[in-house]
Structure 1
Amino acid sequence: MNDAAPPRRIWLCADDYGISEGVNRAIRELIGQGRLNATSVMVVGPAIGRGEVTALQAAAAGSPRCAIGLHATLTAPFRPLTMHFRPTDGGMFLPLPAMLRSGLLRRLDPEMIHAELIDQLAAFQDLFGRPPDFVDGHQHAQLFPQVRDAFLRAVKQAAPAAWVRQGGRLQPLAKRLGAPKALLLDVLSSRFRKLATRAGIPFNPAFAGAYDFSKTPDFGVLMGQFLQGMPEGGLVMCHPGFVDETLISLDPLTTQRESEHAFLAGAQMPPLLARNNVTLG
């Protein structure tokens, strides 16, 4: 008699589909290989035309239960879809630090944020012919004060069957204190989860994938840490991609994307999932 527990199914989600053709191609390759089962799409990105959408749909069609979500974007260097969105910086959203600071100081306009997110959800609907399976946020902006209320209201209104991403972990406090970025996500996610529960919107029970992108750690070691203790339905965020000129012009996370892609596509990934008793299928 085999008493081994069945594998836990988790989400391995590649962010930023639509930021560049190189990132898009890497994500589609990994979906086709069964190495990802979710990706979130930036409808304000420069590489999200009909051809890129059709190619993603084709890749996802061959991968059972691959989810496609909206990567709600509210930070620079991207531009809002709504004409009168404020505040902006040179026509672009505020940079991440300024956006977070403005939310903490209650200087944002939730109605403008809500209107922008409704437009991004409508753009996704127009491109894909259906609402997103889930909604998350570029640079975790969906978790920020003032933003999170508008975000959850927009999802409830325009994608009522979608789930949303929270960024809290299931780890001992000692481990959390050693990772400042992840600790900030824990703090912001606590209120987000309460609001989502109150609104009746489901969310992932645990999250992993945050690390210091300015360094060049061994992504295989990191992935092993991310998978430890990940429960059923938990989500691991990743950023695979191939570097191209468009990506370099928009985002500081470049060569590390290629390192992530190499590990996810490589021979070490399947046994790592097996050792942690998790599956993407």
Structure 2
Amino acid sequence: MAANVTRIWLCADDYGISPGVNRAIRDLIERGRLNATSAMVVGPAIGRDEVSALKAAAANSPRFAIGLHATLTAPFRPLTMHFRPIDGGMFLPFAKLLRTGLTARLDPELVRTELLVQLASFGDLFGRAPDFVDGHQHAQLFPGVRDAFVAAVKQAAPKAWVRQCGRNQPFLDRLRTPKALFLDLLSTQFRRRAARAELAFNPSFAGAYDFSGAPDFGSLMQRFLQGVSDGGVIMCHPGLVDDVLISLDPLTVQREREYAFLGGEQFASMLAANKVTLG
């Protein structure tokens, strides 16, 4: 491969959240438009048939990675009986989990145990350890979670790489996107812990944006491609909206916009123009 070509991971999050999201992800895999996906073992659409279909879709892709999308936020439920704190039998909502972690009110042992069970469930479904481990709503980066996350991966999947969400951009450029800047800050501590545990992690990250206001995903993807380095991760959320998705997640129509763009010819041309490959 030419030295000036950048090879990246384009990862579709949330496999297992709904049948429509699963179908969209498998379609893009079969068309060579993705080379990674992370699966939610607590999702309602992650039975053995959906896992078999994912494996079949990826069978002809020699460089395809399947990871665990570790989940610790509502509206999903823990796999462990004694996980705390919970809210109505579910994990805490994103903002509440973050606040609880920032105020040192999370029990790291309970978090580690839950993540070990999710890792074991992935192994049972897929017949192997995950290639990588990331986190739904970036919960792996949170104070009170990150140490337990690193410990669980080190114990159960030491050869997996873990997702950090720091960008490879000048500081002034980072200031323009508050959500991504917040992930940059959290990722600094996460990378230190992963390095101490001798876990590999992606060198750069892109894909975070404000889902409100119907942003143009093509323009966003152009920016993402320019900001990710070789071996970096671009996160995406393609999907087809169905009743299951609507009941679980506010990110609906934008998933279909991402799916349409990633499956279109503009995206293929954009990869070539930016000298980026998924191969």
Q: CA RMSD in A?
A: 0.8
Distance (whole Å) between structure 2 residues aligned to residue 229 and residue 74 of structure 1: 29
Q: Distance in 2 between matches of 1:50 and 1:119?
A: 17
Q: 1:185-214: CA deviations, max 9, x gaps?
A: 000000000110111000000000000012
SS in 2 for 1:228: helix
In structure 1, the residue corresponding to 2:20 is in which secondary structure?
helix
After TM superposition, list the pairs within 5 Å mapping 1:37-56 onto structure 2: 37-56=35-54
Partner of residue 206, structure 1: 204
Q: Deviations over 1:102-129 (max 9, x none)?
A: 1111000000000000000000000000
Structure 1 residue aligned with 2:78: 80
In structure 2, the partner of 1:18 is 16
The more displaced of 226-235 and 181-190 is 226-235
What SS is found at the alignment partner of 1:268? Answer: helix
Structure 2 letter corresponding to 1:35:
R
Describe how 1:50-129 pairs up with structure 2 within 5 A: 50-129=48-127
- Trace 1:206-225 onto structure 2 (pairs within 5 A): 206-225=204-223
Alignment of 1:256-275 (within 5 A): 256-275=254-273
Query: Given the alignment, which residue of 165, 172, 175 partners 2:173?
Result: 175
1:246-272 Cα shifts (integer Å, max 9, x gaps): 000000000000000000000011111
Of 25, 34, 42 in structure 2, the residue corresponding to residue 36 of structure 1 is: 34
Kindly provide the amino acid, as one letter, of the partner of residue 260 in structure 2.
Answer: A
The secondary structure found in structure 1 opposite 2:159 is: coil
Shift of residue 215, structure 1, vs aligned partner: 2.1
Distance in structure 2 (CA, Å) of the matches to 1:58 and 1:7: 28
Q: Any idea what SS the aligned residue of 2:37 has? A: strand
Per the alignment, residue 160 of structure 1 pairs with 158
In 1: Cα distance, 2:66 partner to 2:41 partner: 12
Matched with 1:242 is 240
Give the match for residue 190 of structure 2: 192
Residue by residue over 1:156-203, the C-alpha shift from the partner in whole angstroms, topping out at 9 and shown as x without a partner, is 000011000000001111111111100000000000001101110000
TM-score (norm 1): 0.98
Unaligned residue ranges in structure 2 (runs of 5+):
none
Question: 2: CA distance between counterparts of 1:214 and 1:52?
Answer: 30
Aligned to 2:133: 135
Q: Which amino acid aligns with 2:17?
A: I
Q: What TM-score, normalized by structure 2, do the two folds share? A: 0.98
Q: Give 1:5 shift.
A: 3.8
Contact 2:167 / 2:227 at 8 angstroms: preserved in 1?
no
Which amino acid letter does the alignment assign opposite residue 102 of structure 1? T
Are 2:83 and 2:114, in contact at CA under 8 Å, matched by a contact in 1? yes
Residues 1-16 of structure 1: pairs in structure 2 closer than 5 A = 5-16=3-14
**Per-residue CA distance 1:2-29 (angstroms, 9 max, x = gap):** xx74311100000000000000000000
What is the CA deviation profile of residues 124-155 of structure 1, one whole-angstrom value per residue up to 9, with x for unaligned ones?
00000000000000000000011000000000
Q: Aligned pairs, how many? A: 278
| Counterpart secondary structure, 1:243 | coil
Structure 1 distance, partners of 2:168, 2:158, is: 27
What is the alpha-carbon distance in structure 1 between the residues aligned to residue 159 and residue 169 of structure 2? 29
**SS at 1:136's partner residue?**
strand
Q: CA deviation at 1:229?
A: 3.7
CA contact (8 A) 2:206 2:227 kept: no
CA distance in 2, matches of 1:105, 1:276: 43
**How far, CA to CA, are the matches of 1:66 and 1:46 in structure 2?**
23
Deviation at 1:233, TM superposition (A): 0.4
Q: Distance in 2 between matches of 1:276 and 1:224?
A: 8
Residues in 1 aligned to 2:87 and 2:276: alpha-carbon distance in whole angstroms: 43
Distance 1:159 1:229 in 2: 29
